[in-house]
Amino acid sequence: QVQMVQSGAEVRKPGSSVKVSCKTSGFSFSSYTINWVRQAPGQGLEWVGGIIPVFGPTQYAQKFLGRVTITTDESTGTVYLELSSLRSEDTAVYFCAREYVLRDLSGLGYWGQGALVTVSS
């Protein structure tokens, strides 16, 4: 079955970087866009970006351009999100998510468990 298992919680100081991973299994890694969505404490969902593994087209939300990089490791089926120049407002739970069906933009049906990133001095 489809599984999306994320790395654990991280604590970082302002100005530093963080790299969060999402190990996938149970499906063809190159067939689905993998998205990153974050949720600040008590707030709603915010899309960070997405990537089509292997083939590589990557899209990022405008507000993160220049600070975010999404990469993949095909050999392990893992997707990475790296966010740099961290500020306190980046404190959030970061989720990876995959489309439910093969048709793109239809709905995010499989989610990782989330990884809390805390930015604090």
Partner 1 sequence: QSVLPQPPSVSAAPGQKVTISCSGSRSNIGNNFVSWYQQFPGTAPKLLIYENNKRPSGIPDRFSGSKSGTSATLGITGLQTGDEANYYCGTWDSRLSAWVFGGGTKVTVL
Residues that bind partner 1 (CB under 8 A): 35, 37, 44-47, 50, 59, 61-62, 95, 97, 100-101, 103, 105-109, 111-114
For the CB of residue 50, give the shortest distance to partner 1 in the complex, in Å: 8
Q: Which is nearer to partner 1, 58 or 84 (CB)?
A: 58
Q: Which is nearer to partner 1, 13 or 103 (CB)?
A: 103
Q: Contact 93/39 with Cβ under 8 angstroms?
A: yes
Q: Contact 12/111 with Cβ under 8 angstroms?
A: no
For the CB of residue 87, give the shortest distance to partner 1 in the complex, in Å: 20
List Cβ neighbours of 103 (8 Å cut-off, separation of 6 or more): none
User: What is the rounded CA–CA span in Å between residue 55 and residue 74?
Assistant: 10
For the CB of residue 22, give the shortest distance to partner 1 in the complex, in Å: 12
User: Residue 63 phi/psi, 5° resolution?
Assistant: -70, -15
